[in-house]
Amino acid sequence: MVAALFSEGPVSEAVQIAPNWFVTHAWIVVLLPVISAVLTFFFGKRTPGRGAVYGIVMVGAAFLFSLAVLWHFIKGGALYAPEGIEWFTIGTLKLEIGMLVDGLTAIMLVVVTSVSLCVHVYSLGYMDGDSRFTWFYVVLSLFTAAMLTVIISNNLIQLLVGWEIMGVCSYLLIGHWWEEKENSNAAIKAFITTRIGDVPFMFGIIALIAVTGFTTTNIREIGEIIGLGVVSPLFVSMAAILLFGGTVGKSAQFPLHVWLPDAMAGPTPVSALIHAATMVAAGVYLIGRMFEVFVHAEAWVLTTVSIIAAITALGAALLAVVQNDIKRVLAYSTLSQLAYMIAGLSMGPEGVTAGFFHLFTHAFFKALLFLGAGSLIHAVHSNNMSDMGGLRKKMPITFWTMLFGSLALAGIFPLAGFWSKDELLVVANHTAHTWLFVVFLLTAVITAFYTARMVLLTFFGEYKGHAHPHESPPSMTAPLIFLAICTAGAGLLGAPQLNAVFGQWVFFEEIHEAVFVPWIAVLSTVGAVLGLLAGYALYKDRKAEDPLKGPLGPVWTTLENRYYIDAFYMRAIVYPVRDTWSAGVYWFNQNVLDAVVNGAAGLAKGLGAAVMWFDRNVIDGIVNGSGRTAGKTGNALKYLQTGNVQWYAVGLFVGVLALTIVFIRIV
């Protein structure tokens, strides 16, 4: 056993490798972006360059730190799961803050920090001159910290905290240009839609805590208890499906996928970081982290996961074909690829490595594609591919790097996408998920097709826009080049010919040997090439109208309307809620709740008036009366004070006489 999600397995001598300083202090990776967010928030505007430097330096440091953590696992180190710090205790339930560092954590740390670093650098150019530049960097850093919290967390509550902070940051960044109503609507849509998934997720967490008898939220302890097999499988199944609800929301799977394409309203670097490479992958990560629960659930749970992922993979890939907005092409592609990963995980323990390997490679090439698309948008001032074309010569760096990313997405040897998709196909074949195998293959063909379409429409043919495009500044091209190198190299980590080292870092329970099956590799390559050729044939000559629009007819219209799912949600949920439920709630509020509140207020007012009368007339009467009486008495008696000393003396003698008489009488 080298590094496992839940290590219970046989122990080999690899365990002997002691965790290095970086592994035992992995929490610093989370702390660095927090520091940067705080520094940028308080000092950003006064810093030269409007505060971007904090984020770049801190996230850069976090990236190097993550590499050092990964080094431990490259050498074959074991997982490191120290006792957490106790946060607080509710009854028997102990909440802690802690970390769980295994191969999966290390890989995710590297992915998040590297993409985040690229985006931090890239935004220097892309967001230059933006009125909320500093704020953008604050939220970017905060988001990075939240994502890292999710990754490193050893318990479900801490994970949920990071999860929700990510949601808020996503909301803030999608709505970064909130002056346009469309953008703020997209932000609200994203927030609410993911929240719908978060509700079952939260119930799932509570169910899992209940499994431990409300004693701990620790992921490994929950895994151990479920691994004992004493919990009823139905209960575990319900918990698993509830957890999967969180994944459906965050990773934008059918039927909650609608928010992700709209989230493209945010600045492009945000789309690259949050809505392609990291946050949406958190849902996949969640399944992987909680895989013990899924494994011990009844079979229908993973089948449900497979079906949802398959629907999303195919459906979203088809939608990507008809998009004109380049970011939407990539958004639907992201949906489809996320579904790939989830489908991979749904195939069982063997699929975990393959699914996460696809997450790993996808993060790089999709971030690359998004940042490339941002570079194009920056140049032509439009998201629409109908305003692009012929940009190959004008923007050579963007062209070559994006071509790299596109071929990786299409799955062409030897780029990243080829290896990860191939591994998924091998696992599907090996575990006899034939129908998933077909879905994977079909999706791969469609993916290659829309990728070719995207590249041809933007870089080839005649320029159709009105701006004067030129290559982007180095701050934007440098991340592109870096990501292109990663895209080329990342796939090799999982190449069976090169030992498939990735599989030794990320696996469930035991290492699954990556196998190279020649006929599958050939089949997937042929599929990809066919897709690319079809795309080339249709789009090599640019026409005013899309060549597929005529032949496809109503199918095209359906796709353009996103299967009418958004419209259905609007009619079935949003409008009724807005017009009927809201009106009802408003009426109830105005007439019932307000009546209670107003009644209580009226009662209080009446009581107040009575008390006031009592105070004014009785209490004040006593107080004033005593004062007035004293005054009047004094006024009457003051005339005794005549000023004549002899009169006083008379009084004195009379008094003495009187007392004398009294005393004599008494005695």
Partner 1 sequence: MIRLPLVLLFSAFLFSAGVYGVLARKNAIMVLMAIELMLNAVNVNLVAFSAWLGDLDGQVFALFVIAVAAAEVGIGLAIVILLFRTRESINVDEVNLLKW
Residues in contact with partner 1, counted by CB under 8 A, come to a total of 11
**Could you give the C-alpha distances from 217 to 198, 208, 467, 540, 647, in angstroms and in order?**
17, 8, 55, 56, 96
Least Å distance between CB 662 and partner 1? Answer: 20
What is the rounded distance in angstroms from the CA atom of residue 476 to the CA atom of residue 309?
34
User: Which C-beta is closer to partner 1: that of 639 or that of 663?
Assistant: 639
Counting Cα atoms < 13 Å in the Cβ hemisphere of 625 gives 7
Q: Residue 497 or 646: which CB sits closer to partner 1?
A: 646
Q: Shortest approach of partner 1 to residue 643 CB, angstroms?
A: 3
C-alpha–C-alpha distance, residues 473 and 464, integer Å: 23
- Burial of residue 665 (CB within 10 Å: 0-12, 13-18, 19+) is exposed
Which residue number, 526 or 650, has a Cβ lying nearer to partner 1? 650
Nearest distance, CB of residue 601 and partner 1, angstroms: 55
Q: Which is nearer to partner 1, 90 or 640 (CB)?
A: 640
Helices (H), 381-415: 396-410
By C-beta, is 497 or 641 nearer to partner 1?
Answer: 641
Closest to partner 1 by CB, 609 or 650: 650
Residue type, 71: W
Would you say 497 or 635 has its CB closer to partner 1? 635
Rounded Cα–Cα distance for residues 4 and 356 (Å): 13
Peptide bond into 255 cis (omega under 30): yes
Q: Considering beta carbons, is residue 610 or 636 the nearer one to partner 1?
A: 636
Q: Least separation, in Å, of the C-beta of 650 and partner 1?
A: 6
CB of residue 639 to partner 1, shortest distance in Å? 6
459 neighbors 535 (Cβ within 8 angstroms):
no
d(CA 28, CA 9): 29
Residue closer to partner 1 by CB (options 10, 643) is 643
Shortest reach from residue 666's CB to partner 1, in Å? 23
The first and second tokens of residue 348, run together, are 């069982």
Here the tokens at position 329 are: 């092409």
Question: Which of residues 618 and 650 has its CB atom nearest to partner 1 in the complex?
Answer: 650
Tell me, letter by letter, the H, E, C secondary structure of 348-371. CHHHHHHHHHHHHHHHHHHHHHHH
Taking the complex as a whole, the smallest distance from the CB of residue 658 to partner 1 amounts, in Å, to: 15
**What is the per-residue binding string for partner 1 in 585-624, x denoting contact by CB under 8 A?**
----------------------------------------
Angle of helix 133-152 relative to helix 156-174, nearest 10 degrees, comes to: 160
Q: β-pairing, 93-97 with 85-90? A: antiparallel
Cβ distance 516 to 423 under 8 Å?
no
Q: Does 497 contact partner 1 by CB under 8 A?
A: no
Q: Between residues 576 and 631, which has the closer beta carbon with respect to partner 1?
A: 631
Q: Which residues contact 249 (CB under 8 A, 6 or more apart)?
A: 193, 194, 195, 196, 197, 198, 201, 256, 283
Residues of this chain, 398-457, that bind partner 1 according to CB under 8 A: none
Nearer of residues 638 and 665 to partner 1, judged by Cβ: 638
Distance of closest approach, residue 630 Cβ to partner 1, in angstroms:
16
Q: Could you please report the per-residue DSSP string of 554-600?
A: HHHHHHHTGGGHHHHHIIIIIHIIIIIIHHHHHHHIIIIIHHHHHHH
Name which of 623 and 650 has its Cβ closer to partner 1: 650
CB-based contacts of 451, cutoff 8 Å, min separation 6: 333, 406, 407, 409, 410, 531, 532, 535
**How many C-beta atoms surround the C-beta of residue 125 within 10 A?**
19
Least Å from the CB of residue 602 to partner 1: 55
Give CA separation, 244 vs 55, 231, 301, 309, in Å: 33, 19, 9, 11
- CB-nearer residue toward partner 1: 596 or 649: 649
Distance of alpha carbon 30 from alpha carbon 464, whole angstroms: 45
| Smallest separation (angstroms) from partner 1 to the CB of 647 | 9
> For the stretch 603-619, what's the b/e string if a residue is b when 16 or more beta carbons lie within 10 angstroms of its beta carbon?
eeeeeeeeeeeeeeeee
Q: Give residues 626-665 in contact with partner 1 (rule: CB under 8 A).
A: 638-639, 641-646, 649-650, 653
Smallest separation, CB 661 to partner 1 (Å): 16
| Residue 509, both tokens | 């329970």
Q: Per-residue contact track with partner 1, 364 to 393, x per CB under 8 A?
A: ------------------------------
**To the nearest whole angstrom, how small is the minimum distance from the Cβ of residue 644 to partner 1?**
5
Strand partners, 155: 218
Q: Of 611 and 650, which has the nearer Cβ to partner 1?
A: 650
Q: Which residues contact 299 (CB under 8 A, 6 or more apart)?
A: none
At its nearest, how many Å lie between partner 1 and the CB of residue 645? 6
Q: Is the peptide bond before 474 cis (omega within 30 degrees of 0)?
A: no
Q: Which residues bind partner 1 (CB under 8 A)?
A: 638-639, 641-646, 649-650, 653
